[in-house]
């Protein structure tokens, strides 16, 4: 049962939300080049920077290697390797004394001079020290996100960040899927606190100093990777329902973190409805949405490590030496995604010395709060279908519409929900096993936004529900971690435990909406964008 809500949000077709089409419908794709020179010298020279006086890398880019164009500056090409031997990224010359060293592949888009006449977006994986704001520092020139480079197609998903070949990616996907389908996964996993400790104390690649004060002005387009999809990759039919602003002049960024079985497409309204002065970026987990062929994470800590890797180019722009050093940003999560948000924040603070200016946790608990009772967790492990019959009957109804639990799409949906929930639940057990479960403190205001239909669902069902709805609500009591006489996922006291995760002010909001609707609901957006407006001196009128 879903009680009637004021101004309900548009809902994407379930088939679209479950899995995006395997081919992206985009208007522009990055150019690819093939190395044709250097056959007699073991390849061509690669340098760290654009300048030919910059440091030379020890390895050459092999003849025959295929690379993706990140930026073309005259005869200098900033590349990301797709196949072949040599450095994963760097700068090379496309020709020397009119002798070609690289040849643009025939199926690549042309680089007509006209395309350079308007402000171009930052390269996909631009260095924070080399990317330049559109229109100059503090510019005021508009940033046209509709022309931004789209994520790569699925057959090379992951290559941007992990330098994997298609075969290596397929092997990693199969290994992870086999791990999840192993009969051993049908038993409760013993709590291994070392997994969490390993993440919290992992060696850092580099420890940056804290960023200096931000100088102000408009932000350049955010560097994107496969883990931060762009609006350009959205199918045309969805764009008609959720049109993006033709122009954005971002003064602040909002990074969003999804919960179980969630993906970028389910956040599209939030991203497109943002004011023109705010750029919204949504993390896309592996095996979800635009990353369907990448391997499933086995732990939430593994997912957080992936997020740090794929989002790092964007975060480095805020860090010391970045093109937007000290620029403001906020965090927003949905559901159990708040647990993963805290993990990532801990890594950002420890390695890049950056922190959000404000945090919003939408209808979800912190890491030291479980969602399931011991009986519920054991049932999730041993019998997924039985568990969701009790915990989330709507999912079972969707499974039946897809052909039942033994059909390929029905089984895929159950696996997506159950694996996601296990990642978060098992992480919460590791967190609670620590002497101090609060492994990270946000040094900013923290807002918890709760759907009143989430915490008072029993009241609504008793007043308005059918006998079947009341029966289903009663069945939930045995599988949730809320008090024994309650069937809610989390009660008010569980939500308010977020208070311990900040050194600054804590705010608790209840909105007239429910768990699924809140992440795109106008009431939620009004709270979030009004708060963000104050950090960048902008107006927000609900």
Cα–Cα nearest to 105, from 67, 76, 148? 67
Helix ranges (DSSP H) in 14-84: 14-18
Cα–Cα nearest to 322, from 227, 210, 225, 230? 210
Dist. CA 444–CA 433, nearest whole Å: 26
pTM > 0.85: no
SS3 call for 151:
coil
**What is the CATH architecture assignment of 168-536?**
3-Layer(aba) Sandwich (3.40)
DSSP-assigned letters across all residues of 468-528 = HHHHHHHHHTTTBSS-TT--SSS-HHHHGGGGGGBSS-EEEEEESS-TTTGGG-HHHHHHH
**Within a 10 A sphere around the Cβ of 116, how many other Cβ atoms?**
10
- In the block, tokens 């993963």 appear at 340
**Within a 10 A sphere around the Cβ of 497, how many other Cβ atoms?**
17
Beta strands per DSSP E along 335-427: 358-362
pLDDT at 162: 59
Dist. CA 501–CA 319, nearest whole Å: 23
**Within a 10 A sphere around the Cβ of 157, how many other Cβ atoms?**
23
- Residue 49's beta-bridge partner residues? none
Q: In what order do the strands lie in the sheet with 358-362?
A: 278-282, 252-257, 329-334, 358-362, 445-451, 506-511
Dist. CA 327–CA 213, nearest whole Å: 8
SS3 call for 332:
strand
For the CA atoms of the chain, what is the radius of gyration?
24
**Per-residue confidence in pLDDT tens, the chain, 542 aa:** 333 333 333 333 333 333 333 232 233 457 888 999 888 778 898 988 887 777 888 888 988 888 888 888 888 899 888 888 888 889 998 988 778 899 987 655 444 333 333 333 333 333 322 333 333 323 333 333 333 334 445 443 444 555 677 788 889 999 999 999 999 999 999 999 999 999 999 998 788 999 999 988 899 888 888 899 888 888 888 888 899 998 899 999 999 999 998 989 999 999 999 999 999 999 999 999 888 889 999 999 999 999 999 999 999 999 999 999 999 999 999 999 999 999 999 999 999 999 999 999 999 999 999 999 999 999 999 999 999 999 999 999 999 999 999 999 999 999 999 999 999 999 999 999 999 999 999 999 999 999 999 999 988 888 888 899 999 999 999 999 999 999 999 999 999 999 999 999 999 999 999 998 999 999 999 999 999 999 988 999 88
Dist. CA 494–CA 461, nearest whole Å: 21
Q: Which two tokens stand for residue 30?
A: 């990055």
Looking at the domain 32-104, which fold is it? SH3 type barrels. (2.30.30)
Q: How many helices (H) and strands (E) does the chain have?
A: 17, 13
Q: Which two tokens stand for residue 362?
A: 């939408």
Contact 497, 508 (CB under 8 A): no
Dist. CA 123–CA 149, nearest whole Å: 8
CA triplet 321, 322, 327: central angle to 5 degrees? 115
Dist. CA 84–CA 62, nearest whole Å: 7
- Residue 44's beta-bridge partner residues? 61
Dist. CA 285–CA 487, nearest whole Å: 29
**Ranges of each domain in the chain:** 32-104, 168-536
- Which H/E stretch holds residue 96? strand 95-96
How are beta strands 445-451 and 506-511 bridged, if at all? parallel
pLDDT at 107: 55
CA triplet 452, 418, 199: central angle to 5 degrees? 90
**Within a 10 A sphere around the Cβ of 385, how many other Cβ atoms?**
16
Q: In what order do the strands lie in the sheet with 32-35?
A: 89-93, 76-83, 66-73, 32-35, 102-104
Q: Which two tokens stand for residue 394?
A: 């709507």
- Residue 89's beta-bridge partner residues? 80
Q: Which two tokens stand for residue 80?
A: 């990301």
Contact 348, 199 (CB under 8 A): no
Dist. CA 310–CA 226, nearest whole Å: 7
């Amino acid at each position: 049962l879903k009680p009637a809500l004021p101004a309900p949000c548009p809902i994407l077709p379930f088939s679209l939300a479950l899995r995006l089409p395997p081919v992206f419908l985009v208007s522009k794709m990055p150019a690819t080049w093939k190395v044709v020179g250097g056959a007699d010298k073991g390849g061509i020279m690669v340098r760290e920077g654009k300048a030919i006086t910059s440091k030379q890398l020890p390895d050459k880019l092999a003849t025959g290697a295929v690379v993706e164009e990140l930026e073309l500056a005259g005869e200098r090409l900033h590349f990301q390797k797709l196949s072949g031997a040599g450095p994963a990224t760097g700068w090379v010359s496309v020709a020397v004394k009119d002798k070609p060293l690289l040849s643009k592949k025939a199926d690549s888009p042309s680089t007509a001079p006209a395309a350079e006449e308007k402000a171009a977006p930052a390269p996909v994986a631009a260095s924070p020290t080399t990317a330049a704001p559109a229109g100059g520092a503090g510019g005021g020139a508009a940033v046209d996100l509709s022309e931004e480079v789209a994520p790569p197609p699925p057959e090379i998903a992951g290559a941007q960040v992990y330098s994997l070949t298609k075969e290596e990616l397929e092997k990693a996907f199969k290994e992870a899927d086999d791990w999840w389908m192993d009969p051993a996964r049908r038993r409760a996993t013993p709590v291994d606190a070392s997994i969490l400790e390993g993440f919290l104390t992992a060696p850092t690649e580099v420890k940056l100093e804290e960023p200096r004060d931000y100088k102000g002005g408009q932000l350049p387009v955010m560097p994107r990777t496969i883990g931060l999809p762009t609006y350009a990759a959205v199918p045309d039919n969805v764009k008609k329902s959720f049109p993006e602003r033709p122009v954005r002049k971002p003064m602040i960024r909002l990074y969003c973190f999804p919960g179980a079985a969630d993906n970028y497409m389910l956040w599209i309204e939030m991203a497109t409805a943002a004011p023109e002065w705010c750029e919204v970026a949504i993390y896309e987990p592996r095996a979800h949405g635009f990353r369907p062929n990448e391997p499933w994470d086995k732990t939430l800590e593994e997912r957080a490590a992936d997020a740090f890797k794929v989002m790092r180019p964007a975060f480095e722009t805020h860090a010391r030496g970045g093109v937007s050093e000290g620029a403001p940003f906020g965090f927003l999560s949905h559901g159990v995604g708040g647990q993963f948000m805290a993990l990532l924040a801990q890594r950002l603070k420890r390695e890049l010395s950056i922190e959000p200016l404000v945090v919003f946790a939408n209808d979800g608990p912190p890491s030291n709060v479980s969602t399931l009772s011991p009986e519920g967790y054991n049932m999730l492990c041993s019998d997924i279908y039985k568990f969701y019959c009790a915990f989330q009957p709507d999912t079972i109804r969707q499974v039946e519409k897809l052909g039942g639990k033994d059909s390929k799409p029905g089984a895929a949906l159950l696996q997506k929900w159950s694996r996601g929930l296990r990642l978060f639940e098992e992480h919460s057990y590791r967190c609670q096993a620590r002497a101090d479960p609060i492994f990270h403190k946000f040094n900013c205001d923290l807002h918890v936004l709760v759907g009143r239909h989430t915490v008072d669902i029993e009241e609504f069902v008793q007043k308005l529900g059918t006998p079947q709805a009341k029966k289903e609500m009663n069945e939930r009591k045995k599988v949730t971690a809320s008090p024994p006489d309650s069937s809610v996922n989390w009660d008010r006291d569980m939500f308010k435990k977020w208070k311990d995760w900040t050194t600054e002010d804590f705010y608790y909001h209840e909105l007239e909406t429910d768990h699924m609707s809140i992440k795109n609901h106008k009431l939620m957006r009004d709270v979030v964008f009004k708060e963000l407006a104050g950090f960048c001196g902008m107006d927000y009128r609900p």
